[in-house]
């Protein structure tokens, strides 16, 4: 379902795929109108207008992916999507240049009062005195948020002979130096900048960041711009700061409430110039993001490939190839431990060893958790929501990279704790083909292919037990595909693990359990 207008090329890409049934909504629908339409929808595409709220998500049980043709996903309830295992993707770079160019246009328009002069001319006036402005040359521009758009704005400002100060807690000094901007603290920007422009996402930290207290620290006559998200500059405080003469002008593309209500005091101030959220509204940006979102959603629905997800780590094709064998092994280990462990676990400790410490571990931990939590959450559990689900269940997940020397060049170990009780399994990848094997169960060495039905038991190491088990399984029509035996010492305790072609009946298991030398009989499905 394409909810907001995206480029015809993007729509065509969806329509070309014969597996898709594409609905293009003719107008933007509010929540109540959207709810009855989404029961069968698997993918939704939005720009910034349609709101994908928790209610919309709840009304769409088949929804698997929400694609945002643009950057900001604040119109999508990402937490609700994550809890449901729905991937939320955006198109981070497609509209960068357009938004940076709009910001720069606003900067020049603000400095030279072009919109005000234009309106006056259209009204038949000729008033040269009222529209005298200021130069950008030799002025100081403060940029809050030096990401993609902030960087492009800086580049243009430097070309215009401006000094650029940047504030971004996540920007490194070397990157700032490479961009020829001065990395400073917020208060220094307030104290020195003639123009301040914001380019960060809307977060708890950035909401209302430019408020009365911030304006008080700024130079008198400062001009401010917001082409990022409405509310980063507090609108009421901005109004007061302009009325009080502290702020000489403001350029706004985005607003706390969009579309803008009729009653909007800033609209009445001549020092304020405004556009209706046009940052990404160019032919080029819309074509870029329309195509990007169509390709990403198609790839996800048809091939399971995830790119530009905001609620799941992204893996490029090369890294994915490296990580893939661990994902499969991890999921099986998680599933094995979940079936051996008691239901209520408070801690899951995942250890990475050997070459497994050199690959990105977050996706592997997510696969382990998926296998581990499947019995609790069924098919609704996926890599997107496993961490949220674990914390909702009170399961603490610890991830350790170990430099312990073992017989394996790359290995994983998963231990579930319920109080003092611990159940664990280890796995390794074998050979050039990276074949997954279970190599430890509760610390005992085994060598088992993690596939299909596994039978596990502990037994006294006594002559004839293998024959006994084989005969019994045969009598109950269960074929043994392979067997792994290990023992502590001759005549001591042994762990037997069988790969079976089918699940043995309860009668067969009862018969096995009757043997006094056999205990801990378990059947698990991987």
The catalytic residues are 229, 258, 277
With CB atoms as reference, the residue minimizing the distance to ligand AKG is 70
Nearer to ligand NAI, 46 or 438 (CB): 46
The separation between CA 175 and the C-alpha centre of its own chain, rounded to angstroms, equals: 24
**Taking CB under 6 A as the rule, does residue 386 contact ligand AKG?**
no
Number of residues counted as binding ligand AKG (CB under 6 A): 10
How many CB atoms sit inside 10 A of residue 50's CB? 23
From ligand AKG, ligand NAI, none, interface partner of 199 (C-beta below 5 to 8 A by class): ligand NAI
Alpha-carbon distances, residue 216 vs 40, 212, 219, 240 (angstroms): 53, 6, 8, 11
Residue 193 or 438: the one with the smaller Cβ distance to ligand NAI is 193
The residue to which tokens 């048809």 are assigned: 302
| String of contacts with ligand AKG for each residue 55-84, x by CB under 6 A | ---------------xxx------------
| Beta carbon of residue 71, minimum distance to ligand NAI (angstroms, whole number) | 4
144-169 as b/e: b if 16+ CB within 10 A: bbbbbbbbbbbebbeeeebbbbbbbe
Name the closest residue to ligand NAI (Cβ).
Answer: 147
User: How many Å separate Cα 438 from the centre of its chain?
Assistant: 30
Which option in ligand NAI, ligand AKG, none does residue 494 bind, with CB closer than 5 to 8 A by kind? none
Dihedral sign, Cα of residue 59, residue 62, residue 64, residue 69: negative
DSSP label at residue 128: S
3-state secondary structure of 309: strand
Q: Which does 47 bind (CB under 5 to 8 A by kind): ligand AKG, ligand NAI, none?
A: ligand AKG
Which residues in 35-54 contact ligand AKG (CB under 6 A)?
47-48
The rounded distance, in Å, linking the Cα atoms of 437 and 453 is 14
Residue appearing with tokens 């480029």: 7
CA gap 151, 176 in Å, rounded: 9
Query: Cβ 165 to ligand NAI, closest distance in Å?
Result: 12
Report the partner that residue 136 touches, choosing among ligand AKG, ligand NAI, none (CB closer than 5 to 8 A by kind): none
Q: Which region among 27-35, 274-282, 410-418, 503-511 touches ligand AKG (by CB under 6 A)?
A: 274-282
The least distance separating ligand NAI from the CB of residue 175, rounded to whole angstroms, comes to 10
Q: Which does 82 bind (CB under 5 to 8 A by kind): ligand NAI, ligand AKG, none?
A: none
From the DSSP assignment, how many helices (H) and strands (E) are in the chain? Answer: 17, 20
Nearest Cα to Cα of residue 55 among 27, 84, 28? 84
Q: Which is nearer to ligand AKG, 113 or 277 (CB)?
A: 277
CA pair distance 278, 54, nearest whole angstrom: 27
Strands 247-252 and 272-274: what pairing? parallel
Q: Minimum distance between the CB of residue 287 and ligand AKG, rounded to whole angstroms? A: 13
Strand partners, 226: 198, 252
Closer of 71 and 250 to ligand AKG (Cβ): 71
Helix H or strand E segment including 287:
helix 283-303
Provide the β-strand partners of residue 421: 418
CB of 155 to ligand NAI, least distance (A): 13
Question: Residues 330, 49: contact at Cβ < 8 Å?
Answer: no
| CA dist., res. 222 & res. 245, Å (int) | 10
Nearest-approach distance from CB 28 to ligand NAI, in angstroms:
16
Residue 90, SS3? strand
Residue ranges that bind ligand NAI, judged by CB under 6 A: 70-72, 92, 95-96, 99, 144-150, 167-170, 199-201, 203, 205-206, 227-229, 253-254, 277, 279-280
Residues 276-295 that bind ligand AKG (CB under 6 A): 277, 279-281
Distance of closest approach, residue 366 Cβ to ligand NAI, in angstroms: 23
Task: Go through the chain and tell me how many residues it has.
Answer: 526
Q: List the x/- string, 83-122, binding to ligand AKG by CB under 6 A.
A: ------------x---------------------------
- Segment contacting ligand AKG by CB under 6 A, of 105-113, 187-195, 275-283, 403-411: 275-283
Query: Which chain residues interact with ligand AKG by CB under 6 A?
Result: 47-48, 70-72, 95, 277, 279-281
């Amino acid at each position: 379902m394409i909810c907001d207008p995206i480029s015809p090329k993007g729509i065509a890409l969806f329509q070309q795929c014969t597996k898709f049934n594409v609905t293009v909504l003719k107008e933007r629908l509010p929540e109540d109108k959207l709810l009855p339409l989404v029961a069968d929808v698997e993918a939704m595409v939005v720009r910034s207008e349609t709101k994908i709220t928790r209610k919309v998500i709840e009304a769409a049980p088949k929804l698997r992916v929400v694609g945002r043709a643009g950057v900001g996903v604040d119109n999508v309830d990402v937490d609700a999507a994550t809890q449901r295992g729905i991937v939320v993707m955006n198109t981070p770079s497609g509209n960068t240049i357009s938004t940076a160019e709009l910001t720069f246009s606003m900067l020049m328009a603000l400095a030279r009062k072009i919109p005000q002069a234009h309106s006056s001319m259209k009204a038949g006036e000729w008033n040269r005195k009222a529209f005298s402005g200021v130069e950008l040359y030799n002025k100081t521009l403060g940029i809050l948020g030096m990401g993609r758009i902030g960087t492009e704005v800086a580049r243009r400002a430097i070309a215009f002979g401006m000094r650029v100060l940047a504030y971004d807690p996540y920007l490194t000094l070397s990157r700032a130096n490479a961009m020829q901007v001065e990395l400073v603290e917020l208060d220094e920007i307030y104290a020195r900048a003639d123009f301040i422009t914001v380019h960060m996402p809307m977060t708890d930290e950035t909401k209302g960041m430019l408020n009365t207290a911030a304006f008080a620290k700024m130079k008198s006559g400062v001009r401010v711009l917001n082409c990022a998200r409405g509310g980063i500059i507090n609108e009421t405080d901005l109004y007061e700061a302009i009325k009080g003469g502290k702020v000489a002008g403001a350029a706004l593309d985005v607003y706390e409430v969009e579309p803008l209500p009729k009653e909007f005091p800033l609209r009445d101030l001549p020092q304020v110039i405004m556009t209706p959220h046009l940052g990404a509204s160019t032919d080029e940006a819309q074509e870029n993001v329309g195509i990007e979102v169509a390709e990403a959603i198609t790839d996800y629905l048809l091939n399971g490939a995830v790119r530009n997800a905001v609620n799941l780590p992204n893996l490029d094709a090369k890294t994915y190839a490296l990580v893939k064998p661990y994902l499969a092994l991890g999921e099986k280990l998680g599933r094995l431990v979940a079936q051996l462990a008691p239901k209520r676990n408070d801690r899951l400790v995942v250890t990475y060893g050997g070459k497994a410490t050199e690959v990105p571990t977050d996706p592997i931990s997510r696969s382990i958790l998926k296998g581990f939590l499947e019995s609790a959450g069924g098919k609704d559990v996926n890599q997107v929501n496993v961490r949220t689900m674990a914390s909702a269940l009170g399961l603490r997940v610890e991830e350790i990279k170990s430099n312990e020397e073992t017989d394996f060049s790359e290995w994983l170990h998963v231990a579930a704790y319920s109080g003092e009780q611990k159940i664990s399994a280890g796995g390794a990848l074998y050979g050039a083909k990276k074949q997954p094997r279970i190599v430890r169960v509760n610390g005992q060495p085994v060598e088992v292919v993690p596939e299909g039905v596994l039978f596990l038991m502990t037994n006294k190491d006594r002559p004839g037990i293998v024959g006994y088990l084989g005969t019994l399984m045969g009598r109950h029509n269960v074929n043994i595909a392979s067997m792994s035996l290990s023992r502590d010492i001759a005549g001591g305790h042994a762990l037997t693990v069988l790969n079976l072609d089918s699940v043995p009946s309860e009668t067969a298991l009862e018969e096995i359990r009757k043997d006094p030398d056999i205990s801990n009989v378990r059947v698990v499905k991987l």
